[in-house]
Amino acid sequence: QKKPLELQSETSLSAYGTATDAWQAAEQALLPAVLEMEQARNTYAEALKKVDEARTALDQAQAALGAKQGVAQSVAAAAQQAQAALAQVGEDAELAAAAQKFADKSAALNAEVATLQQAVTEKTAALEGPTNELNAARPALETAQQKVEPLRSAVRVAERLMVAARETMMADYTALT
């Protein structure tokens, strides 16, 4: 016949085994959900990187357009003033040549502005695809995160129960010896 301490020790050992099994089962349930979340997170991060790259390209194109528009406006104003001065002075070959140079430069700058505007339009359109990818990846990530949280909580609870069972088992073993 076993003594009460021996029975108590065996019971606590069995309880620890059961708690350990429950903890391991909780961990095993968590692993696929964590893997799914990591995959969703990677997909989201890749999409976010593409959005950032596209946005950076768009910002640079917009900055170049803004700078070129400022110069084009200044040169266009100078061309208009040169034409007005030529109209007031009349026939002046040097002034006419200068006015023509301003007009030519203004036309060239306007062409550059049009090219930059086209680049901004293209980069704005190019941002749409990555943005759609990002928006499509977000729900999958959120869903995966929602799956993981209760499973993590279950692992924490099972771990606390396992630790408590181990402490009880160790105390019973110590009392037995």
Q: Say what the pTM is.
A: 0.70
- Average pLDDT of the chain to the nearest whole number: 94
Going by C-alpha positions, the residue among 48, 57, 42 that lies closest to residue 134 is: 48
Residue 73's contacts (CB-CB under 8 Å, 6 or more residues apart) are none
Q: What tokens were used for 169?
A: 């088992």
What average pLDDT does the segment 137-155 reach?
A: 96
Q: How many whole angstroms separate alpha carbon 33 and alpha carbon 146?
A: 10
Q: Which of 43-47, 84-88, 137-141, 153-157 has the lowest mean pLDDT?
A: 84-88
Residue 91 to residues 76, 99, 101, 144, Cα–Cα distance (Å): 22, 12, 16, 78
How confident is residue 2, by pLDDT bands cut at 50, 70 and 90?
low
Torsion of CA 24, 27, 29, 33, to 10 degrees: -170
Write down the pLDDT at residue 176: 78
| Angle 135-119-59 from CA coordinates, rounded to 5° | 55
Residue 27's contacts (CB-CB under 8 Å, 6 or more residues apart) are 155, 158
Residue 4 has pLDDT above 80, yes or no: yes
Tally of CA atoms within 13 A in the half-sphere of 166 that contains its CB: 9
